[in-house]
Structure 1
Amino acid sequence: METHKKISSNVLALVFACLGMILGCVKENIVVETTEQVSITGYFEANPDKFSEFAAILDAANVSSVLNAYGLYTIFAPTNEGVRAYYQRKGKQSASDFTAAELRDLVLFHLLPDTIGTTAFTDGKLNRLTYYGQHLVTGVANVGGVSNTVINRQANLVEGNIAVNNGIIHAIDQVLEPATQTVAQLIESNPDLQIFARALHETGWYNRLNVLPAENPDPDSVRRWFTVLVEPDAVLAEAGFPTYEALRERFSHTGNPADPTDSLYLYVAYHVLPDARYLADIVSRTSHPTWAPLEVITSKYMGQEVLINDDIFNGMHEPGIGIDPAASDRSATNGVLHIAQGHFNIKLRSPIPVYWDLADQPEFRRLPGFRNGSLVHTVNLAQGGSHLEAIRWERDHIQYQANAGEGHFWGDRIMIPMSGTTNIRNHWVEFTTPLLVRGRYKVWVCYRTNPRAPIMQGYFNGVPLPRTLNMAEYNIGNTPEGEMEALGFKRHTNSSSNNFVGRLLGTIDVETTDRHILRFEGIAGGGDANGTWWDMIHFIPVDMDQLYPKFQPNGEIVQRPAN
Structure 2
Amino acid sequence: MSKIKYILLTALILCFIFSSCDSDKILEENLYTFTDKMMGKYLETDSTLTEFYKLMEMTNVNGLLNSYGSYTCFAPTNSAMLEYYKEKGKSSLSDFSPDSLKLIAYDHLINGSEIIFASFLNGRLPDPTMSNRFITITLTPDGAALVNRNSQISEKDIMVHNGVIHKIRKVLDPVRLGIVDVIAKEENFSIFYDALILTGLADSLLLDKDESYEISTTRAKELEDAVVTTIASERYAPLMREYGYTVLMESNETFQKNGINNIDDLKTYAANVYDTMYPADANITNVTDRRNSLNRFIAYHLINKELSYTKFLSNYDTGHQFKTVDLYEYIEPMCPNTLIQVKNERSSGKMNLINTIQDTGKSIEISMSNYDNDATNGVYHEIDRILAYTKEVDAEISSKRLRFDVSSLFPELTNNNMRGRPSNNDVLYRHAIPAGYLERLKCGEATVICYTSPNDKLMNYMGDEIFIAVKPGQLYDLEITTPPIPAGTYEVRFGFQSNGRRGVAQFYVDGIPSGVPVNLNTLGTDIGIGYESIGSNPADLFGYENDKMMRNRGYMKGPGSFKSINSSWYTGESARHNAGNLRKILGTYSFLNTENHIIGVKGLSSGQFQIDFIEFVPTSVLEFEDIY
Q: What's the secondary structure of 1:199's corresponding residue?
A: helix
Say yes or no: does 1:269 pair with 2:267: no
Does the 8 A contact of 1:352 with 1:540 survive in 2?
Answer: no
Residue 143 (structure 2) aligned to one of 142, 147, 152: 147
1:460 and 1:124 mapped to 2: Cα distance?
41
Matched, 1:341 2:384: yes
| 1:222–1:504 CA distance, 2 compared to 1 (3 A) | farther
- Cα separation, partners in 2 of 1:126 and 1:326, compared to 1, 3 Å: same
> 1:371 matched to which residue of 2?
none
- The residue number in structure 1 matching 2:487 is 439
Contact 1:108–1:132 (8 Å) recurs in 2: yes
Work out the CA distance in 1 between the residues paired with 2:508 and 2:123: 31
SS at match of 1:138: strand
Q: Deviations along 1:152-200, whole A, 9 cap, x unmatched? A: 2122233444343444323222211111332212222222211111111
Change (3 A) 1:259 1:353: closer
Q: Secondary structure at the match of 1:287?
A: strand
Q: Take 2:247 and 2:397, find their aligned partners in 1: how far apart are those partners?
A: 30
* Alignment-mate amino acid for residue 103 of structure 1: L
The alpha-carbon distance between structure 1 residues 460 and 338, as it changes in their structure 2 partners (threshold 3 A), is: farther
Partner of 1:53: helix, strand, or coil? helix
Q: Do the aligned partners of residues 393 and 177 (structure 1) sit closer, same or farther apart at CA in structure 2, a change above 3 Å counting?
A: closer
- Deviations along 1:315-342, whole A, 9 cap, x unmatched? x245111211111211112111101111
Aligned residue in 2 for 1:53: 51
Question: Aligned match of 2:197 in 201, 217, 240?
Answer: 201
Q: 1:127 to 1:542 in 2, by over 3 A?
A: same
Change (3 A) 1:301 1:353: closer
Shift of 1:230: 0.7
CA distance in 1, matches of 2:105, 2:171: 10
Q: Does 1:172 align with 2:168?
A: yes
Which secondary structure does the structure 1 equivalent of 2:143 belong to? strand
1:345–1:505 CA distance, 2 compared to 1 (3 A): farther
How far the C-alpha of 1:301 sits from its partner, in A, is 4.7
Counterpart of 1:234 in structure 2 is: 253
In structure 1, C-alpha distance between the alignment counterparts of 2:397 and 2:588, rounded to whole Å = 7
Code of the residue aligned with 1:331 in structure 2: it is: D
Aligned to 1:213: 208
Of all paired residues, the percent bearing the same amino acid is 24
Q: Is the 8 A contact 2:213 2:241 kept in 1?
A: no
Structure 2 counterpart of 1:90, from 88, 91, 95: 88
Aligned pair 1:122/2:121, yes or no?
A: yes
> Equivalent residue for 2:265?
246
2:303 maps to 1:308: no
> What SS does the aligned partner of 1:133 have?
coil
* Contact 1:109–1:134, Cα closer than 8 Å, also in 2: yes
Pick the structure with greater CA Rg. 1
TM-score scaled by structure 1? Answer: 0.56
- 2:102 corresponds to which letter in structure 1? R
Question: Contact between 1:466 and 1:506, CA under 8 Å: does it hold in 2?
Answer: no
Say if 1:212 and 1:55 are closer, same or farther in 2 by CA, change over 3 A.
farther
Q: Is the 8 A contact 1:115 1:168 kept in 2?
A: no
- Corresponding residue SS for 1:234: helix
The change in CA–CA distance for 1:46 and 1:230 in structure 2 (over 3 A counts) is same
> 1:114 offset after TM fit, Å?
0.6
Within the candidate set 320, 324, 341, 2:363 is matched to 320
Query: In structure 2, what is the Cα distance between the partners aligned to 1:45 and 1:551?
Result: 69
What aligned pairs does 1:270-419 form with structure 2 within 5 A after superposition? 270-284=300-314, 286-301=329-344, 303=349, 306-312=352-358, 316-348=359-391, 349=394
- Report if aligned partners of 1:442, 1:505 keep a CA contact under 8 Å in 2: no
| The 10-residue stretch of structure 1 (186-195 or 111-120) with the greater mean CA deviation from structure 2 | 111-120
Cα 1:460–1:121 shift into 2, 3 Å = farther
The code of the aligned residue for 1:347 comes to T
1:138 aligns with 2:137: yes
Contact 1:212 1:333 in 2 (8 A): no
The alpha-carbon deviation at position 307 of structure 1 amounts to 2.5
Higher strand share: 1
Question: What SS does the corresponding residue of 1:224 show, helix, strand or coil?
Answer: coil
Out of 147, 151, 154, which is 1:158 matched to? 154
* Alignment-mate amino acid for residue 108 of structure 1: Y
- Alpha-carbon distance in structure 2 between the residues aligned to 1:233 and 1:351: 28
Distance, in Å, in 1 between the alignment partners of 2:298 and 2:248 is 9
Kindly provide the amino acid, as one letter, of the partner of residue 89 in structure 1: E
Name the amino acid aligned to 1:65. G
Letter in 2 for 1:44: L
1:224 aligns with 2:270: no
Amino acid at match of 1:67: L
Q: Distance in 1 between matches of 2:338 and 2:88?
A: 45
CA distance in 1 between partners of 2:268 and 2:383 (Å):
22
Secondary structure of the corresponding residue to residue 135 of structure 1: coil
Cα 1:504–1:247 change in 2 (3 A) is: farther
| Residues 218/293 of structure 1: CA separation in 2 closer, same or farther (3 Å cut) | farther
Contact kept, 8 Å, 1:218 with 1:224, in 2: the verdict is no
Q: 2:182 aligned with 1:182, yes or no?
A: no
Q: Report the TM-score, using the length of structure 2 for normalisation.
A: 0.51
SS of match in other structure, 2:189: helix
Q: 1:33-92: per-residue Cα shift (whole Å, max 9, x none)? A: xxx9433221111222x2112112223334333433454433211122322332343344
* Change in CA separation of 1:287 and 1:55 when aligned onto 2, cut-off 3 Å: same
Contact 1:465/1:506 (8 A) holds in 2: no
Separation in 2 of the partners of 1:227 and 1:548? 34
Residues 506, 169 of structure 1: CA spacing in aligned structure 2 closer, same or farther, 3 A cutoff? Answer: same
Seen in structure 2, the aligned counterparts of structure 1 residues 332 and 164 have a Cα distance that, compared at 3 Å, is same
SS in 1 for 2:312: helix
Name the SS of the counterpart of 1:65 in structure 2.
helix
- Aligned partner letter, 2:100: E
User: What whole-Å deviation, never above 9, does each CA across 1:380-438 have from its counterpart, x for those lacking one?
Assistant: xxxxxxxxxxxx9988xxxxxxxxxxxxxxxxxxxxxxxxxxxxxxxxxxxxxxxx962
1: CA distance between counterparts of 2:578 and 2:78?
Answer: 65
Structure 1 unaligned spans of 5+: 1-35, 357-391, 396-435, 446-456, 474-496, 508-514, 523-527, 532-536, 553-563
Distance across 1 between alignment mates of 2:491 and 2:119: 40
Q: Distance in 2 between matches of 1:338 and 1:280?
A: 12
Question: What's the counterpart of residue 98 of structure 2?
Answer: 100
Aligned residue for 1:43, secondary structure, equals helix
Q: Is the 8 A contact 1:187 1:193 kept in 2?
A: yes
Give the Cα separation in 2 of the matches to 1:75 and 1:267: 42
Q: Give SS of 1:186's match.
A: helix
Mean alpha-carbon deviation: is it higher for 252-261 or for 298-307? Answer: 298-307
CA RMSD of the aligned region, Å? 5.1
Structure 1 residue 354, shift from structure 2 partner: 5.2
Contact 1:309 1:320 in 2 (8 A): yes
Mapped partners of 1:113, 1:440: distance in 2:
49
What is the CA distance between 1:94 and its match in structure 2? 2.9
**Secondary structure of the equivalent of 1:158?**
strand
The 2-side partners of 1:73 and 1:241 are apart by: 49
Give distance in 2, aligned partners of 1:98 and 1:499: 69
1:551–1:43 Cα change, 3 Å: closer
> In the alignment, what sits opposite 1:381?
none
